[in-house]
């Protein structure tokens, strides 16, 4: 009897031990599951699945404006979407369109006119349309400056006829700007002694007297022009208002622009001209949600842009001079904000 009681007691102890182990194991498993769920939630971070894990922004050279802005944008986009984002160097606008076409980047900087040429397969993209590019938003003006000096005697676009003028490097956006502005005055580059020079070579040529004037398309003030202005009385040739209207009517990627008095030391009065816009484009295959969130992140965080151009980036101006089809995700954002092209 005593032996039977001992046996029953041992059995009860074993059963109790098994029960406690099972409960402990169950509780531990529950804790593990809870930890696993938290890990998954943390990994997902409540973020959407955008269909991509990495995002590259094609910019320009490290000494230009696009590259530092691109670094700012990459940080803003990564914070908003959780997608690893980075800025990559390039030869800027035209090359960036090629990178979009080859699907080597998701987002790119360019000028509005270059984006239009790419989407139409015209100018430097003759017969080579970039069909997968869509607009995200325009950023700030790239001003067309017709630069000369007081001693040249050039005061109007008509005065360029017969003069030695740099019209930008062959195949460049500046060259196209020069051709289109001259067209409004019934002129062509053949009416000039045209030179195809870089901005630095153009201002050097003006300074040493080998050329009389130059077309320069860049944000103002432009470093090359500032260098010239340090030794010469720089003149910026105005474009007549009726010619500006005609230019914009035919080439809608242009916008009116004013070079303010004091931009360069010798500029005493405002000068009326035109500008194309620096803009962001995206690949057409990016999801609407992703492009909406990128657009929202950039235009609602301009205070986080550590470059002077950040002050010019405004939601209300983001469709000015767009020129190409806007991505539906970006359109949704601007529609919500009541923004339309001016």
Domain check: are 153 and 194 in the same one? Answer: yes
Quote the number of domains for the chain: 2
pLDDT at residue 322 in the model: 85
- Is there a contact between 59 and 109 (Cβ–Cβ < 8 Å)? yes
Domain check: are 129 and 163 in the same one? Answer: no
DSSP secondary structure letters along 198-260: -HHHHHHHHHHTS-SEEEEEESSS-HHHHHHHTTS-EEE----HHHHHHHHHH-TT-EEEEE-
pLDDT at residue 63 in the model: 65
Using CA atoms, how far apart are residues 66 and 42, in angstroms rounded to an integer? 34
pLDDT at residue 151 in the model: 95
pLDDT at residue 86 in the model: 98
Dihedral angle at the C-alpha atoms of 26, 32, 38, 41, nearest 10 degrees? -90
- Name residue 109's beta-bridge partners: 280
User: Regarding beta strands 271-283 and 255-259, do their DSSP bridges make them parallel or antiparallel, or are they unpaired?
Assistant: antiparallel
pLDDT at residue 144 in the model: 95
* Residue 31, domain member (yes or no): no
Domain check: are 149 and 252 in the same one? Answer: yes
Q: Which residue has the tokens 């007549």?
A: 240
Domain check: are 155 and 245 in the same one? Answer: yes
Of 258, 276, 294, the residue that ends a domain is: 276
pLDDT at residue 323 in the model: 85
Please give the model's pTM, rounded to 2 decimal places. Answer: 0.75
Q: Which residues of the chain have pLDDT under 50?
A: 1-44
Of 237, 254, 276, the residue that ends a domain is: 276
List, in order, residues 6 or more apart from 276 with CB less than 8 Å away.
Answer: 111, 112, 113, 141, 142, 144, 173, 177, 217, 253, 254, 255, 321
* Residue 77, domain member (yes or no): yes
Which residue range forms the structural domain that includes residue 75?
54-141+279-336
């Amino acid at each position: 009897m005593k032996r039977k009681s001992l046996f029953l007691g041992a059995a009860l102890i074993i059963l109790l031990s098994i029960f406690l182990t099972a409960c402990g194991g169950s509780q531990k498993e529950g804790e593990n599951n809870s930890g696993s769920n938290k890990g998954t939630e943390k990994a997902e971070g409540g973020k959407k699945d955008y269909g991509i894990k990495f995002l590259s922004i094609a910019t320009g050279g490290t000494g230009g404006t696009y590259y530092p802005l691109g670094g700012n944008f990459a940080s803003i986009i990564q914070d908003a979407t959780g997608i690893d984002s980075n800025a990559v160097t390039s030869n800027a606008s035209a090359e960036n369109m090629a990178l979009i076409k080859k699907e080597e980047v998701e987002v790119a900087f360019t000028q509005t006119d270059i984006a239009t040429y790419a989407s139409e397969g015209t100018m430097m993209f003759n017969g080579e349309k970039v069909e997968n590019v869509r607009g995200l938003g325009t950023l700030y003006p790239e001003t067309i400056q017709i630069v000369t000096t007081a001693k040249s005697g050039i005061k109007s676009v008509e005065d360029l006829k017969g003069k030695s003028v740099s019209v930008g490097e062959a195949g460049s956006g500046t060259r196209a700007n020069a051709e289109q502005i001259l067209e409004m005055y019934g002129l062509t580059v053949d009416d000039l002694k045209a030179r195809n020079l870089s901005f630095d070579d153009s201002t050097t040529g003006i300074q040493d007297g080998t050329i009389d004037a130059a077309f320069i398309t860049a944000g103002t003030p432009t470093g090359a022009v500032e260098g010239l202005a340090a030794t010469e009385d720089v003149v910026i040739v105005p474009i007549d208002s009726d010619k500006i209207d005609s230019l914009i009517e035919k080439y809608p990627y242009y916008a009116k622009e004013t070079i303010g008095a004091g931009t360069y030391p010798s500029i005493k009065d405002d000068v009326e001209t035109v500008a194309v816009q620096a803009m962001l484009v995206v690949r057409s295959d990016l999801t609407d949600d992703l492009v909406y969130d990128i657009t929202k992140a950039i235009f609602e965080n301009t205070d986080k842009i550590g470059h002077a151009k950040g002050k010019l980036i405004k939601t209300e101006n983001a469709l000015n001079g767009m020129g190409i089809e806007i991505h539906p995700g970006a359109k949704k954002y601007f529609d919500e904000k009541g923004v339309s092209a001016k």
